[in-house]
Amino acid sequence: MAERVKKTLAVVGLACFAFSLSLTLAQSQRDAVSKWRPTHELAGVRYVGSAACAECHAALSAKRLANPMSRALEPAEGCDVLKTHSRLTFRNGTYNYQIVREGNHSSYTISDGRSSISEPILFCFGQGKAGQTYVFQHKGVFYESRVSYYQEIQDLDFTILHPHSLPESLEEGLGRPMTTEAAQGCFACHSTAAVRSGQLQIDHLTPGVTCEGCHGPGEKHIAAIKTGSRNLQIFNPAKMEADELSQDFCGACHVSFEKALLMPNQGGTNNLRYQPYRILNSRGHSGDARISCVACHDPHDKLSADSAFYDTKCLACHLSTRGQAKTDARSAPACPVSKQQCTTCHMPKIDLPGAHGKFTDHWIRIVKAGEPTPN
């Protein structure tokens, strides 16, 4: 009898241990998923591709293609800007730059009149709605082109934040050589699955930001769905707190407050492109889910350029007229000027020097004529 009890207890103990271990493993898996962020890795999980996501999320997958993020990076052979501009040129003193299209390939060349360096363009960064920068390799190192395409002028000019001075040599004039860390960061933000096992693997990347670019690799998610598991094994940014979503998640690529402070020469108009940094500086406009990045911009749909589209976003917090009764949901004061096209006054479009275009300033404020752009 005593021996039978011992065996029973041993079996029960093993069962409890196995159950505890399974809970621990499940918890560790959930923790791993919860810590996933754009530009990071989720070790041991394969990417399955957007076609697999579309099997269950067809409508969202189809709409996503209209979002600019889906074309944040394109291989040179498929780049619309280069396909429709067979020859682009720029001159800096004695140095001539040109991008020439031949068939499905484009070459980037710098010449000083005596000699030249030419390299095939590998990738186009940015869809070209405002501008587009090119990445190539020279002597085994990735380079960011010193000149970029700008839609407003339909030609080349200096890439933003690149020097305008005359280079001392052809190699110096090529562009900015990218460190391993910089290359990984650029490709991780503009494409999907570019970094694996801590290494940049451009042969395996998917151009642009796909479903898995924001939700993480989907192998275990699909397996969980098939087995009916409640642990879906996928990251859902919508469950994040507002500031964490804007700063920690979107800010991983669009530059958070902390990142901007660590970057040199980023004051004033130089940080206009860093929306998470700018919005956190907006007095009274942080910590509320109605002011997070995704409150105004649906990453699964096209980006609206119509200022009237955003009025309802503002009026979700602000009263429509003075004297209107406040509620728990709407207690922010009414604008004394208008309740239409709010962003045209409070989030103005500002010229970024050298960018040949305007950027919407996400530092929400009462803009006064003649005052400098805050930094």
Q: Which of 254, 179, 260 is nearest to 214 (CA)?
A: 254
φ/ψ of 195, rounded to 5, equals -115, 125
Query: Which of 295, 237, 294 is closest to 37 using CA atoms?
Result: 237
Q: What is the pLDDT of residue 116?
A: 98
Q: Are 319 and 333 in contact (CB under 8 A)?
A: yes
156, with CB counted inside 10 A (0-12, 13-18, 19+), is buried
Angular region, 72: left φ>0, alpha ψ -120 to 50, beta rest: alpha
Phi (first) and psi of residue 264, to 5 degrees: -75, 150
**Which residue type, as a one-letter code, is found at position 368?**
K
- DSSP string covering 281-347: TSTT-SS-GGGSHHHH--TTSPPP--GGGGHHHHTTTB-SSTTPPP-SS--BPPPSS-SSSHHHHHS
Query: Are the beta carbons of 130 and 357 closer than 8 angstroms?
Result: yes
Structure tokens at 70: 């889906």
Torsion sign across C-alpha atoms 114, 108, 193, 297: positive
Q: What is the pTM of this model?
A: 0.87
> Which stretches in the chain have pLDDT values below 70?
1-31, 265-267
pLDDT tens, residue by residue, 245-278: 999 999 999 999 999 988 876 667 789 999 999 9
Structure tokens at 292: 């997070």
36-72, pLDDT tens digit by residue?
Answer: 988 888 888 999 999 999 999 999 999 999 999 999 9
Distance CA 310, CA 295 (A): 10
Closest CA to 41 of 152, 159, 194, 154: 194
The domain locations on the chain are: 73-177, 241-360
* Calculated CA dihedral for residues 109, 112, 114, 120, nearest 10 degrees: -10
> What integer pLDDT is reported at residue 229 of this predicted model?
94
Report which of 294, 187, 316 is spatially closest to residue 236, judged by C-alpha positions: 294
Q: What is the pLDDT of residue 332?
A: 92
Extract the runs of DSSP E, i.e. beta strands, from the chain: 73-75, 87-92, 95-102, 105-111, 116-125, 131-138, 141-145, 147-150, 155-158, 175-177, 191-192, 195-196, 199-200, 206-207, 349-351, 358-360
Name the phi and psi angles at 328, rounded to 5. -60, -35
